[in-house]
Structure 1
């Protein structure tokens, strides 16, 4: 049937309204889709944040538990390691200055590194003798090429009785780079921020040379290493006497050497790549009744 012109004119607005409603419905569906996508994204972000928080909490709980149970017995455990190696026929100096162990705690596989911090060159002593430049030279020499960039940042107000460095983070420029955690641990193998005398029984020849090179002249470090090899560590006075150093050099080194441990460290990190890159470094130094704890997380 052919509609009259009047009927066609009356139907035209209804058709336009139907098209407008369709566009409006499509717009609403688009908005709802965007809102739903945003909600899903936010839900995913919240889930990831919750998982990261749980991982962080578990790591800190594990580190705190190990700090109480292992770090408090560090000297005993390191001495037991030395006795074990001695029973196996090892008699040369220096004694073992630490050890590594793989443990499982609450289902988490962890690598522990326990060390005698007083068996390392004291960067605070180097700073008092030669400032930040001496610290930078010593740290670069002992840290190796894979270490994070060395950038010493001493604390203000440092002096003879006030350490310039209390955290390993003051020695390096840390930027959360891949592999930086393991590189930092390795870089701290010969130097320490613990402001304590060097333990002659456990210090490596490298640590002896690093300390002596920063505060004495000539080849004092080589002379100290040779004197220790010849007669064992003994007391600092005995080693200095055998080394035959100039009195000025011996006088500078005497208060910086000891025959006993006075600071320890514990590094806790996930064992293997599957555990996730969340290493924690805890350093406790018991000097004058003070404890220092550093916590680095990647």
Structure 2
């Protein structure tokens, strides 16, 4: 799904052609930015009821660039008193390959991702046409570099050579939304009371479902249901990174989670929790508690972001 082109060429080139902007264009440009988007974002993780350690790792955060005008003799109808852009991110990784190896893999994947993001010249994302494509191109390169980092680590510490991890990365600027994904952790969009899965599981059973050889119900009982066909590992092999971009609406909610949630709590029950519209942190805790009550056979990680319109002042 492509992001709609909601800006004129003049707006898209605002940084390179500032003297061509009229007061009306400036006003429209400011209104199209992220200042009117409120994001309630949180994450939580639990080792579950069976596992001795938690090999899931997650991170939620934001990166900002902003300017607050403290004093000027230019009227407020010509320039706004503040310009701001805030990009939000949610990252979930489910490690595998033994206790030590899985723990290292998921943590190292997130740490390497952060280092690569912070090394990126310029702003992390831009609310301009073509920016989402550029961001996703960078994400594909970053996933390849993360796999290389895992391989380099395993070369130094051979006991971790079996390590691997899923990695699902959601980033948003305003209402523009991108996903980069490998493995069987998931990203969902909750909109209008419906829970829509936006990532595809890279598993053996998902391939059989796609080929018409299994139904989703029979896949839940398949003896090889946990076998991954895609992950970040220490091996030298291509990374099959799924990439997605779309536009959010006010009222939308994004959920990112490991299979410790989805194997325990059915999607209709997840949707019921999100329907409550409560705080993101409360929803995370509720979903984890439901997974624990269902048996908690794996580590459980949940991250949620709710998007709403900030009242204008």
Q: Which has the higher contact order (CA 8 A, sep 6+)?
A: 2
| Structure (1 or 2) with the greater strand fraction | 2
TM (norm. structure 2) is 0.26
TM (norm. structure 1) is 0.27
